[in-house]
Chain A
C-alpha cells in the first residue's frame, strides 16, 4: 500500500513537472482575435490604457485586447519571450535599465512598421504619417538602423532640458541664462548666496543635457557624427569643447549630487531644486507628476529652459524624449497589431492619453494640453530652439562597452576628481571606436 502511494506520488510529480513545462497556449474561446498588448506603467498611470482599449474594442468587436501593464514590464514579458510567447504590441521606450527595446533593436527582432505610416487612422481620413508631427519619425530613435525604415513608432513625446524654480528666479531678480557665459556668471552669483548652480538626479539623466549640448556645439551634423561613432569624433575640437563646458559645469555641482545619484536616493537630488539648494537639473516633464507630493519652497513653480547657447544668438537644441510602441517580429497577430497602433494616433485615443498628460506627437495636440504642460511645450515655439530626437545608433553588441555609461556615469568621477577630462575624452574615444568597428 505504502509502495503504491510512493509510486503514484512520483508519477504525479513527474507528470506535473512535464505538464508545467508545456503549459501555455493562447487564443480566445469566443472566436475573437486576441491581441496581446504589453505596456510600461510609467508616470502617466494605467487608466488611460484601459480606457483606450475599451474604446478600441467598442469599435472593433472582433478584437479582444489583453493588456499586461506593469512598472517593470520587462521583467514580466521577458521570460515568456524567451519561451517563444511574444506580446503583439509593446509600449516601451529606450533608455530603461533593462534595455529590452535596445536588445531587440540590436537583434533586429522588431517588425518593420513603415507601412503603418501609410495606413489610415481608423475612423479618420488621414494617414498616420500625415498626422504625426513633422520630424518625429525618420531619426535614429524611430529608424534605429539609419535606413528609411521605421521600427519604433513614437508614442509620447516630452521636452527635456534644465528644470528650475521660476519662483526663486523671480524672488532674486535673476534672469534665466541664455549663454554659457551667463550661466557660469549666475553660478558664481548663486554660489556667493550658498546655492549651487547644478545637480542631476542620476548621471543617466545627463542624456537630455549631452545630446542637446553636442548639437549646440557642432550642429546637427556633428551630433549625428557622435551618435554614429564617426572615427575619432571624440578627439575633435567640438567634442573637447562640449567636455570643457561640462567639466566646468560639474565644478558647480551641488556637493550632495554624487552621493544621492543612485536609484534609491535620486529624488533627494531632485528635492534640492524644490528646496532652492540647487538651481538647475536636467529632467523631463514627468518631474511634475513625480514630485507632485514633495515639499517645496514658498512660491515654487516649475520652469523649463533649453541649455544655454554656446555663442550668443546661437541655435539651441532641446532633447525630446520619445517613448515608443513596437511589434516584435515574432508576434502572432502582426496585422491586428499594426491596426491597433494606427488607432493609438486617433483623435479619440489622443484625447484620452492627453488627459493623463501623455502627449502624443500628433498635429494639433497643443490645444488639448493642460496649463502647466502647455507652458513646457511652448519651448518648441521659440524660433531659436530646435527639437532633437534620437540617441546613439544601434550596433551589434560589443562586450564590455556601454558608451552611454562612459559618457554619463563618468560625470560622477569628474565631480569627485577621480577622473580627469583627458581620461574621460580618451575613454569615450575608445568606446566609440569599438562600436564603430562593430558596425550596424
Chain B
C-alpha cells in the first residue's frame, strides 16, 4: 500500500486512464509543448508562408480588387483623370450589342467545347483503358501533343487547315468529290465560331483524356470482372461503373473547362480571326481587350472583366451544385 506511488504518465497529464493515450508521435511533436513554444511555432510557420502570401496578395488579390474598383470609373488607362461613375459602365453593357454578341459567343463556345471535349475525352479514355488497342500509347501521345503546343502555333496550324483555297479541309472535301461542302471556314459568320471551337477541342482533348484515363485506371478490375459475369456489356459497364466511379474527377474537369474555355478562346480568336469577320467571333475577353486598350475605355473594359469573373464563378458554382452527388467508394 503505497500512497506516494508515482502516477502513470496519463494521470500526470490529467488524462483519465479510460481514455486512450495519444499516439506517441503526436505527443512528442505538439501535445506536450508549452503555449509559448506553440506560439513560436505558429510564428515560424507564418514566417515561412510570408513570401508566398506577399506574392499572392501583390499579384493576385490586389489586382483582382483593382479590377472591381476600376469598373466603377471612366478612365483611359493613362491619364490621372479618373471619374467615378458608379454602375454606369455596367448599365452601358446592357445596351452594347457587341458585348451581348461576345457574351453569346463565349457561352456558345463554353457549351460546345465542354460537351464535345468531355464526351470525346471520356470515350477515348474508356477506349484506351478498357480495350486492348494495338498502339494505344502512340494514340495517347499523338492526342496529347497538341496540349504542349503554343496556342499561336495551333492558330497557325488551323489557319492552314481552314484555308479556303489550299487548306487541308477543303482539299479533302474536293478529293472526296464533296465540293458542295467546301466552306470559307474563317470567313463565314455562321461557321467561324465553330471553326474556332474545333481548334479548342483539338488543343485540349488529349489533356482531358489523360486525366480521365488516370482515374479510370484506378477503378478495381474486379468490379469489371464481376459485372461482366453478371452479363454487363462494355457500354453498361461504362455508365454503371466507370462514370459513377470517376465522377469526382469529371466534376473537377468541368471547372477546368469553364476557365480554359474563357482563356483559350481569347488567344485563339486573337490569333485566328481577330474577332472577325465583323465581330462574329468576338468573345468576352477579346472584347474586353479591345475596349480597355484599343477604345481607351479602361473602366468599361474592367466592367467586362467583372462580368467575366462573376460569370465564370457563377457557372462553376452551378455546375458544381448540379453535379454534386454522394461519392461512390470502392
A binds B: yes
Interface residues of A (CB under 8 A from B): 3, 6-7, 9-10, 13-14, 17, 81-82, 97-99, 102-104, 106-109, 202-203, 255-265, 268, 397-402, 405, 409-410, 412-413, 416, 418-419
User: How far is A81 from B228 in the complex, measured between Cα atoms in Å?
Assistant: 68
Known: A13-B54, A98-B293, A413-B278. 20 other contacts (CB 8 A): A10-B47, A14-B51, A17-B51, A17-B58, A82-B78, A104-B78, A106-B76, A202-B274, A256-B164, A259-B164, A259-B184, A261-B277, A262-B274, A264-B159, A265-B159, A265-B186, A399-B295, A400-B93, A412-B278, A419-B278
Given contacts A17-B55, A107-B78, contact A402 B50 (CB under 8 A): no
Residues of A within 8 A of B93 (CB): 400
Residues of B within 8 A of A102 (CB): 296
Closest Cβ–Cβ distance, residue B63 to chain A (whole Å): 13
Establish whether residues B76 and A418, one from each chain, have CB atoms under 8 Å apart when the complex forms: no
Establish whether residues A416 and B294, one from each chain, have CB atoms under 8 Å apart when the complex forms: no
Q: Give the most central of A257, A405, A410: most B CB within 10 Å.
A: A405
Interface residues of B (CB under 8 A from A): 44, 47-48, 50-51, 54-55, 58, 74, 76-79, 81, 89, 92-93, 95-96, 98-99, 155-156, 159, 163-165, 184-189, 271-274, 276-280, 290-291, 293-297, 300
Establish whether residues B186 and A259, one from each chain, have CB atoms under 8 Å apart when the complex forms: yes
Interface of A, helix, strand, loop or mixed by DSSP: helix
Closest Cβ–Cβ distance, residue B297 to chain A (whole Å): 5
**B276 partner, pick from A9, A81, A262, A400, beta carbons under 8 A:** A262
19 A-B pairs (CB sep. < 8 Å): A9-B51, A10-B47, A13-B51, A13-B54, A17-B51, A98-B293, A108-B79, A258-B184, A259-B164, A259-B184, A262-B272, A262-B276, A262-B277, A399-B291, A400-B99, A401-B295, A412-B276, A416-B187, A416-B189
Residues of B within 8 A of A261 (CB): 187, 276-277
Closest Cβ–Cβ distance, residue B270 to chain A (whole Å): 8
Inter-chain residue pair count (beta carbon < 8 A)? 136
Residues of B within 8 A of A103 (CB): 76-78, 293, 296
Closest Cβ–Cβ distance, residue A106 to chain B (whole Å): 5
Residues of B within 8 A of A397 (CB): 74, 76, 295-297, 300
User: How far is A356 from B300 in the complex, measured between Cα atoms in Å?
Assistant: 41
**B54 partner, pick from A14, A98, A265, beta carbons under 8 A:** A14
User: How far is A262 from B165 in the complex, measured between Cα atoms in Å?
Assistant: 16
Establish whether residues B96 and A399, one from each chain, have CB atoms under 8 Å apart when the complex forms: yes
Closest Cβ–Cβ distance, residue B61 to chain A (whole Å): 15
Establish whether residues B278 and A410, one from each chain, have CB atoms under 8 Å apart when the complex forms: yes
